[in-house]
Amino acid sequence: MYYIGIDLGTSAVKLLLMEGNGKIVRVASREYPLYFPHPGWSQQNPEDWYKQSMDGLCELLDGIDKSQVAGISFGGQMHGLVVLDENDQVIRPAILWNDGRTFRENDYLNQVIGKEKLSEYTANISFTGFTAPKILWIKNNEPENFARIKKIMLPKDYLAYRLTGVHCTDVSDASGMLLFDVKNRCWSEEMCEICGVHKEQLAKVYESYETVGTLLPEIAQKLGLPETVKVAAGAGDNAAAAVGTGTVGNGQCNISLGTSGTIFISSDQFAVDKNNALHAFAHADGHYHLMGCMLSAASCNKWWMDEIIGTKDYGAEQTAITKLGENHVYFLPYLMGERSPHNDPDARGTFIGMTMDTSRADMTQAVLEGVAFALRDSFEIAKSLGIQIDRTKICGGGAKSLLWKKIIANVLNVKVDVPETEEGPGYGAAILAAVACSEYASVEEAAQKLLKVVDTVEPDAELAAKYEERYAQFKQIYPTVKELFGKLK
């Protein structure tokens, strides 16, 4: 049988066709526009998602025995707000995860309602990108549109609705709305009241691997698929990517070294750190996960190489780095502010420790190490909750660098596993579809059977000890300069 994973990203939708044994048959993608009507705003037209997804599905299925397609599921950009009227028509463009217009509503939630109450109700505090402050923004700035809202949805869930006619969401994506009681896996009545939302306006919540429905007859006809094709709820992009790398089950870890960086830790038990420095979300495997998100990761190296040094030969720059664990230069990787664990939009990128004998290689090394040290900040918070981690998966563009993987392995003092497949959310979504269709009994069983590790970078005890000393110095820098950042406007 075939299973389809749809990764609804910010710039494009990527579609993947997988056989039941995990083999990827074909991948297709379609781009759609982003709109920036005001500085700091970021919107998209949900109809573009649907049209491009349907077009991509036609390409994906061309020449395939369509009778063998059993299931479809999703991974998707999180936090975006889609609002529908009583006729299920989109009321206004979707407000995306990277939209910054809600700073006043965000401050209201964190300062007036209070972080303690938010954490009690949802296990998280508010960020400008979350969904709840977007709802408040519409309430405050577009009252006519707010009055018309019949359904509140997330991006991938709108796509699921268009395919099935079912208003649905999953536990992992709902966790990022600040409307969801993560511990009890249900909508928070308190947060609904705070945001002026009725629970009837919210979609039904499913586990990520549960079937929400089957294809509408008209959709099945357009695609040439059986009406019996099951559609599973899917997951938010990070949770779907975690499934796609096998990061499921207790104590599993994945580091994504992309434009932004995440450290994703799956857990059987619900846990929240006392400062809400990490996101505490429900996971697509039926349990929970903690996630630290840094806003600039591989993008720090890209900035250093492209804009400062002026080279595209990243590998050549890294060959000059030979003395790991001995660098006296440090770099704070906060080029776009920082999310986890500091939650400080005023934080900035900072070099410190240069002397007259500092070399170009020292500066390059400091950038790579700075990202690794910042990942460890979140790693340490997870360990403080009693979560023991001795190895991690790694994915993303930065993971192509063997040197960077070696640095991360020794800074965190864990084994770093490189998975065979790097299709991320789309592959994870296809796996969720396979579980929904009973190809596998559980997400964990599917991960165990399908995900393979092709390389492991192990820490060296002597080098890890050197980095332990360097990290002790690194973690003192941000608290020391924090007060300056707010003045550097």
Binding site feature residues for substrate: 78-79
* CA–CA gap between residue 154 and residue 97 (Å, rounded): 10
Contact 420, 453 (CB under 8 A): yes
Q: What DSSP string describes 243-301?
A: HHHT--STT-EEEEESSSEEEEEEESS----TT--SEEEE-TTSSEEEEEEES-SHHHH
Given 7, 237, 273, 417, which residue is catalytic? 237
Residue type at 195 in one-letter notation: C
* CA–CA gap between residue 397 and residue 55 (Å, rounded): 27
Binding residues: 78-79
* CA–CA gap between residue 479 and residue 485 (Å, rounded): 11
Tell which residue, 363, 376, 368, 344, has the closest CA to residue 475. Answer: 376
Q: In this structure, what token pair is assigned to residue 342?
A: 């500091």
CA atoms within 13 A on the CB side of 93: 15
CB neighbours (10 Å) of residue 251? 14
* CA–CA gap between residue 160 and residue 204 (Å, rounded): 12
Is there a catalytic annotation at residue 237? yes
CA atoms within 13 A on the CB side of 370: 31
* CA–CA gap between residue 170 and residue 231 (Å, rounded): 12
Strands 168-170 and 82-84: unpaired
Contact 75, 425 (CB under 8 A): yes
For residue 73, the surrounding DSSP H or E stretch is strand 69-76
Q: Within its chain, how far is the Cα of 281 from the centroid?
A: 11
Q: Within its chain, how far is the Cα of 79 from the centroid?
A: 10
Contact 394, 246 (CB under 8 A): no
Q: In this structure, what token pair is assigned to residue 325?
A: 């664990």
Positions marked active-site: 237
